[in-house]
A and B are shown apart, each in its own frame.
Chain A
Amino acid sequence: MLTSLGTKSVAVRTPDDLAGIDAIILPGGESTTISMLLESSKVFDPLKQMIDEGLPVLGTCAGMILLANEVSDGRADQKSFAAIDISVRRNSFGRQIASFESDLKVKGLTNSFRAVFIRAPGVEKVGDSVEILATVDTHGQTEVPVLCKSGPILVSSFHPELTADSRIHQIFLSLIK
């Protein structure tokens, strides 16, 4: 998807891979596992410093959890970049059988966006510095924020990487100076 948008991408596995990047995507996966590997591969500290200094970040699903200021049911030893003033709950919409897809109205986009939610986190609290770009109604909850922006940080509960629609990635690329 990034290549089709004219962007060059590298996979970051070690601190050396961070050299020369203009932005980073923290993708989906298991946040407990990713947090542990960020620590063991010694990527966490240098990346935290870069984010604190203004590196643009797109965090999807697990990536959103890693960027949130507060995780309401995370593991005690789970690391966070605390880069956006939101509070999230892991697996907020339930187990895999409750995972869903739905059309979202996204601020700034004319047509709706088909969003895929996989054991997705939910945003429970949002600080004043955060702009909510999309919400979802489901599982007895209404207007749950699922796409939020704060400065160069963009986070989604859903997985824009699982659909062919590149508009969320384009919003992110527009945040890179």
Chain B
Amino acid sequence: MHSDNYEIGTFRVKRGLADMLRGGVIMDVVNAEEAKIAEDAGATAVMALERVPADIRRDGGVARMSDPVMIEDIQKTVTIPVMAKARIGHFAEAQILQSLGVDYVDESEVLTPADEAHHIDKWAFTVPFVCGATNLGEALRRISEGACMIRSKGEAGTGNIVEAVRHLRSILGDIRKITQADAAELFEWAKRLQAPLGLVQEIAQTGKLPVPMFCAGGIATPADASLVMQLGAEAVFVGSGIFKSEDPAPRARAIVEATTHFRDAAAVANASRGLGEAMPGLEISTLEVKLAERGW
């Protein structure tokens, strides 16, 4: 027996969890032990994956969905939401993740794409999806496919914030311009962005994306978290930045504090004290593979 008009998997229910994660930090973890450290540090969710992006970058080869055993181990260990990644276009991996009961699926460019033209039809799922975007057109295409959360892609596994900043500024800058456009100009915006007109018109009205926008790819320090939050991100994903640093637990905690008090420089300074070495960073121009270029 259910109460009247009971429904699961509605857009409101799916985006609702993204709303609840606003202001928080979602951390990449590769085993239950790391998941526990993340939860203890105040993560609002964990992303379960086999290798963090820095290792995927180093090892090369095809990166795939994680082993269900590892995901289930993490689900048993923590009470916060557990997310997991599927390859772009690999709807069978997404179906498996849904059957495991993961709380969010990340259709992620960090894994090797399975389809060079099509992303997953995310409307067909009960589980909500997050997708990456480098610009507003890409974000709106993902939303039109059913994504309930967007994360700016940045360049995962580099510890270099420059790409995340570029993508955030591109998405939010175009949103600001659209709010100044007249009705006729919105048609041209839709064409230029290769995005549905209805979503462009909605942005002109509301001045924001129809789903929460978080930031990922390159966050390594409390100051990085404060920077992207001040630029307009609503929460942060930290991948390699925590568990590839010298002392993960205090750094995880510090990034949570800096994300909460992102406008309070004294608090961010306090969080930044004595954290040891951050993850080693990579210059973007030296990269052989740019993960952000995956996805269409």
> In the bound complex, do residue A99 and residue B16 qualify as a contact, i.e. CB atoms below 8 Å apart?
yes
Q: Which A residues touch B28, using CB under 8 A? A: none
A44 to chain B, nearest CB (A): 14
A91 at the interface (CB under 8 A from B): yes
Out of B4, B102, B126, which one reaches A103, CB within 8 Å? Answer: B4
Which of B4, B17, B43, B256 makes the CB contact (< 8 A) with A119? B17
| Any A CB within 8 A of the CB of B68 | no
Chain B, interface SS category: loop
Given contacts A30-B44, A95-B101, A96-B104, contact A13 B20 (CB under 8 A): no
Binds B, one of A31-39, A46-54, A123-131: A31-39
Contact of A97 among B8, B24, B264 (CB under 8 A): B8
Stretch at the interface among A18-26, A136-144, A168-176: A136-144
Say yes or no: is A110 at the interface (Cβ < 8 Å to chain B).
Answer: no
B104 partner residues in chain A, CB cutoff 8 A = 96
Q: How many residues of A contact B (CB 8 A)?
A: 41
A102 to B10, CA, bound (A): 11
Number of A-B contacts (CB under 8 A): 117
New contact pairs (14) apart from A96-B103, A98-B8, A100-B6, CB-CB < 8 Å = A30-B44, A30-B80, A32-B39, A33-B43, A33-B256, A41-B260, A97-B98, A97-B103, A99-B13, A99-B16, A118-B13, A119-B103, A137-B2, A162-B12
Interface residues of A (CB under 8 A from B): 13-14, 28-30, 32-33, 36-37, 40-41, 61-62, 73, 75, 90-91, 94-104, 112, 114, 116-119, 136-138, 142, 159, 162-163
Which residues of B are at the interface with A, using a C-beta cutoff of 8 A?
A: 1-10, 12-13, 16-17, 19-21, 23-24, 39, 42-45, 79-81, 98, 101-104, 126-128, 256-257, 260-261, 264
- 15 contacting pairs across A/B (C-beta < 8 A): A13-B261, A29-B21, A29-B24, A29-B44, A33-B80, A37-B42, A91-B79, A95-B103, A96-B101, A96-B128, A117-B13, A138-B2, A138-B6, A162-B12, A162-B16
